[in-house]
Structure 1
Amino acid sequence: MYIRVLGAGAGGGFPQWNCNCPNCKSLRLDLFSGKPRTQSSIAISADKQNWLLVNASPDVRTQLEFFDEAHPPNAVRGTGIKAILLVDGQIDHCAGLLILREGEPLELYTTRVVKHDLSTHFPIITMLSHYCGVNHHVVPIDGGSFMINDISDIKITAHALASRAPPYSPNRNNATPGDNIGVTIEQISNGKKLYYAPGLGLIEAHVLSAMRQADCVLVDGTFWTDDELVKTCGFGKYARDIGHLPQSAKGGMIEVLSGLPEKIEKHLIHINNTNPILNEDSPEHAELARANIGVCYDGQTIVL
Structure 2
Amino acid sequence: MQIRILGSGAGGGFPQWNCSCPNCKALRAGTIKATARNQSSIAVSSDGEHWALFNASPDVRAQLESFPEIHPKNKVRGTGIEAIVMFDSQIDHATGLLILREGDPLTIYCTEMVRQDLTTGFPIFNILEHFCGVKDHTIPLNGDAFIIPNIQDLEFTALPLKSKAPPYSPHRNDPHEGDNIGMIIRQISTGKTTFYAPGLGKIEAHVEQAMKDADCVLVDGTFWSDDELASVGRPLLARKIGHLPQSGKGGMIEFLDTLEKPRKILIHINNTNPILNEESEERDILTQHGIEVSYDTMNIEL
TM normalised by structure 1 equals 0.98
Shift of residue 297, structure 1, vs aligned partner: 0.3
What amino acid does structure 1 have at the position aligned with 2:84?
I
What amino acid does structure 2 have at the position aligned with 1:22?
P
Give the match for residue 17 of structure 1.
17
Shift of residue 227, structure 1, vs aligned partner: 0.3
Give the match for residue 241 of structure 1.
240
State the alpha-carbon separation in 2 of the partners of residues 171 and 283 from structure 1: 40
What secondary structure, in the 3-state scheme, does the structure 2 residue paired with 1:238 have?
A: coil
- The answer to whether structure 1 residue 123 and structure 2 residue 123 are counterparts is yes
State the alpha-carbon separation in 1 of the partners of residues 106 and 73 from structure 2: 20
Gaps of 5+ in 2: none
What amino acid does structure 1 have at the position aligned with 2:287?
A
State the alpha-carbon separation in 1 of the partners of residues 235 and 93 from structure 2: 21
What secondary structure, in the 3-state scheme, does the structure 2 residue paired with 1:137 have?
A: strand
State the alpha-carbon separation in 1 of the partners of residues 172 and 225 from structure 2: 22
Q: Within 5 A, what are the aligned runs for 1:103-142?
A: 103-142=103-142
What amino acid does structure 2 have at the position aligned with 1:244?
H
Give the match for residue 252 of structure 1.
251
Moved more, 45-54 or 66-75: 66-75
- The answer to whether structure 1 residue 275 and structure 2 residue 273 are counterparts is yes
What secondary structure, in the 3-state scheme, does the structure 2 residue paired with 1:43 have?
A: strand
Write out per-residue CA displacement over residues 92-132 of structure 1, whole angstroms, 9 at most, x where no aligned residue: 11100000000110000000000010011100000000000
- The answer to whether structure 1 residue 180 and structure 2 residue 165 are counterparts is no
Shift of residue 31, structure 1, vs aligned partner: 0.6
State the alpha-carbon separation in 2 of the partners of residues 79 and 43 from structure 1: 13
Shift of residue 172, structure 1, vs aligned partner: 2.0
What secondary structure, in the 3-state scheme, does the structure 2 residue paired with 1:113 have?
A: helix
Give the match for residue 284 of structure 1.
282
Shift of residue 167, structure 1, vs aligned partner: 0.8
Q: Within 5 A, what are the aligned runs for 1:195-206?
A: 195-206=195-206
Shift of residue 280, structure 1, vs aligned partner: 0.3
What secondary structure, in the 3-state scheme, does the structure 1 residue paired with 2:146 have?
A: strand
Kindly tell me the number of residue pairs found equivalent between the two proteins.
Answer: 302
What secondary structure, in the 3-state scheme, does the structure 1 residue paired with 2:42 have?
A: strand
Write out per-residue CA displacement over residues 240-286 of structure 1, whole angstroms, 9 at most, x where no aligned residue: 1111010000100001111101x310000000000000000000000
Give the match for residue 161 of structure 1.
161
State the alpha-carbon separation in 1 of the partners of residues 281 and 66 from structure 2: 31
State the alpha-carbon separation in 1 of the partners of residues 116 and 234 from structure 2: 32
Q: Within 5 A, what are the aligned runs for 1:11-160?
A: 11-160=11-160
Write out per-residue CA displacement over residues 177-199 of structure 1, whole angstroms, 9 at most, x where no aligned residue: 00000100111111110100000
Write out per-residue CA displacement over residues 70-102 of structure 1, whole angstroms, 9 at most, x where no aligned residue: 012211110001100011000111100000000
Give the match for residue 265 of structure 1.
263
What amino acid does structure 1 have at the position aligned with 2:290?
N
What amino acid does structure 1 have at the position aligned with 2:241?
I
What amino acid does structure 2 have at the position aligned with 1:186?
R
What amino acid does structure 1 have at the position aligned with 2:246?
Q
What amino acid does structure 1 have at the position aligned with 2:301?
V
State the alpha-carbon separation in 2 of the partners of residues 192 and 23 from structure 1: 36
Give the match for residue 192 of structure 2.
192
Taking only aligned residues, the RMSD between alpha carbons, in angstroms, comes to 0.7
State the alpha-carbon separation in 2 of the partners of residues 206 and 12 from structure 1: 30
State the alpha-carbon separation in 1 of the partners of residues 184 and 296 from structure 2: 21
What amino acid does structure 2 have at the position aligned with 1:201?
G
State the alpha-carbon separation in 2 of the partners of residues 144 and 73 from structure 1: 34
Gaps of 5+ in 1: none
What secondary structure, in the 3-state scheme, does the structure 2 residue paired with 1:72 have?
A: coil
Give the match for residue 293 of structure 1.
291
Write out per-residue CA displacement over residues 41-96 of structure 1, whole angstroms, 9 at most, x where no aligned residue: 00000000000000100000000000010012211110001100011000111100
State the alpha-carbon separation in 1 of the partners of residues 102 and 72 from structure 2: 15
State the alpha-carbon separation in 2 of the partners of residues 303 and 225 from structure 1: 30
Percent identity over the alignment? 61
State the alpha-carbon separation in 2 of the partners of residues 37 and 248 from structure 1: 22
What amino acid does structure 2 have at the position aligned with 1:299?
T
What secondary structure, in the 3-state scheme, does the structure 2 residue paired with 1:146 have?
A: coil
Shift of residue 151, structure 1, vs aligned partner: 1.1
Shift of residue 9, structure 1, vs aligned partner: 0.2
What secondary structure, in the 3-state scheme, does the structure 2 residue paired with 1:287 have?
A: helix
What secondary structure, in the 3-state scheme, does the structure 2 residue paired with 1:147 have?
A: coil
